[in-house]
Amino acid sequence: MKIVIWESLPVLGGGQRIALAVGQALDSKGQCVYILPTAGEFSRVLKAHGFSYYFMNCGSFSLSQKTITDVVKLLLRWPDRFFSSLRLIKKLKPDIIYANSTRTFVYAAPIGKTLGIPVIFHIHNFFDDSKTISLINLLGRMDSVKKIVFVSESLSEEFPLLKGKGLVIYNGIFRGRSVIDYPVRQEFGIPEDRKLVTTVGFLSSSKGQDVVIKATKRVINEYNKVHFLLVGTARDDEGPGFAEYLRNLAIKMKVDKYLTFIGYRNDVANILFQSHVNLISSREACPLVLGEACLAGTPSICADIGGAAELVRKTGGGILYRFKDAEDLSKKILMLLKNSSMYQELVVKTKDAADYFSPNLFTTKIAKLVEEVVSAQ
């Protein structure tokens, strides 16, 4: 069995790590090859794991609300990219196409129809615009699309028209329990008596780090033995504008001495293990960092919407705050900074919740799904 896993970004974010996990889950079943847009961190990781890959750029679009410009770009460039992708898929001769993003699904679904190849679509995130949702609903009903994997129940509820093809598989975390490889405090000159509050993600307006900075101001007014770490960089396709805004906001609010932008890290588990609290300030479908925090025994404070809230309610591995409400976020942070008995109780629940993100459960479900789709052909 030959499997093509089609990815739209060259970086190593959450979706790409899941794409790697899918390949690792399926590689024993046959040959897995990847299609990527360009060389980058993800291609380097794939090479290190012994996977083959090919390049095919599906283009870039606005991250949240799609504009008329995005629609025009798609319509103008779709034919050329469709036929280029079609030639590559013909050359690879896969038994199944695993589309790991909407950008690749736009081509995978009709190519699967043209060549008689079954397609699985893995949806990792929410969509803020009706144009994208309508397009997914349209393509998702094609007979080439056999199954659609949603990473949470709350995400699947966004697509009731595709309910018959959908199933929920929560992300697995493919890391062992954390240990301190080296002290992050020493690296950044953070005093030992400061409790670390960490948030991980691209510096993007969709991730809500501005809410974290505003909450920081309120927190340090009551509790100054704390330091905030913002882990991540700007996305290449969004540019540095929002990241610069965040840095200027921290200076304007006079919290820059209590907050450090530490950029991209490949040791997130190590940082979370040393953190007192993990923050998730955005609407996420199934954030990997929540599972990683559970493995580290670090309680999370999550926005009360989406998959993060769903998982916290299921696992007890955190507490919730009102989405985009900096005042409520600051109250919840202070609660876990000042109430040691409550914090320790939450640590126990958080560690127990780690089993919910079992990599074995994830790989078993993915492998079974692909085998069933291929064998049904």
The pLDDT score that the predictor gives to residue 12 is 83
Cβ proximity of 123 and 150 under 8 Å = yes
Cα 343 to Cα 242: distance, rounded to the nearest angstrom: 33
The pLDDT score that the predictor gives to residue 323 is 97
Q: Which of 127, 188, 114 is nearest to 154 (CA)?
A: 127
Q: pLDDT digits over 104-135, tens only?
A: 999 999 999 999 999 999 999 998 888 889 99
Cα 144 to Cα 118: distance, rounded to the nearest angstrom: 5
Cβ proximity of 231 and 200 under 8 Å = yes
Cβ proximity of 196 and 274 under 8 Å = yes
Q: Measured between alpha carbons, how far is residue 359 from residues 15, 51, 124, 256, 368 in Å?
A: 15, 20, 17, 38, 14
What is the DSSP secondary structure assignment for residue 312, as one 8-state letter?
A: H
Task: For residue 166, give the amino acid letter.
Answer: G
Mean pLDDT, all residues of the chain: 91
Q: What strands lie across the sheet with 226-231, from one edge to the other? A: 259-263, 226-231, 195-200, 277-280, 300-303, 318-321
Q: State residue 199 phi and psi, 5-degree precision.
A: -130, 135
What is the DSSP secondary structure assignment for residue 232, as one 8-state letter?
A: B
Q: What percent of the chain has pLDDT over 90?
A: 72
Q: Measured between alpha carbons, how far is residue 163 from residues 123, 153, 166, 168, 372 in Å?
A: 13, 11, 5, 10, 18
Q: pLDDT digits over 208-247, tens only?
A: 999 999 999 999 999 999 999 999 998 766 678 999 999 9
179-185-186 Cα angle (round to 5): 100
The pLDDT score that the predictor gives to residue 64 is 55
H helix or E strand, kind and range, residue 373: helix 359-375
Q: Which of 98-107, 171-180, 213-222 has the lowest mean pLDDT?
A: 171-180
The pLDDT score that the predictor gives to residue 310 is 96
The pLDDT score that the predictor gives to residue 13 is 80
Q: What percent of the chain has pLDDT over 70?
A: 94
Q: Please, where are the H alpha helices in 240-356?
A: 241-252, 268-273, 288-296, 306-315, 326-338, 340-353
The structural domains of the chain, ordered by start, are 2-172+358-375 (3.40.50.2000), 184-357 (3.40.50.2000)
Percent helix, strand, coil in the chain, to 5, is 50, 15, 30
Q: pLDDT digits over 245-303, tens only?
A: 999 999 999 999 999 999 988 889 899 999 999 999 999 999 999 999 999 999 999 99
Q: Taking the chain, what is the end-to-end CA distance rounded to the nearest angstrom?
A: 12
Q: If pLDDT is split at 50, 70 and 90, which confidence band does 33 have?
A: very high
Q: If pLDDT is split at 50, 70 and 90, which confidence band does 66 have?
A: low
Q: Measured between alpha carbons, how far is residue 335 from residues 195, 272, 282, 328, 332 in Å?
A: 13, 19, 20, 11, 5
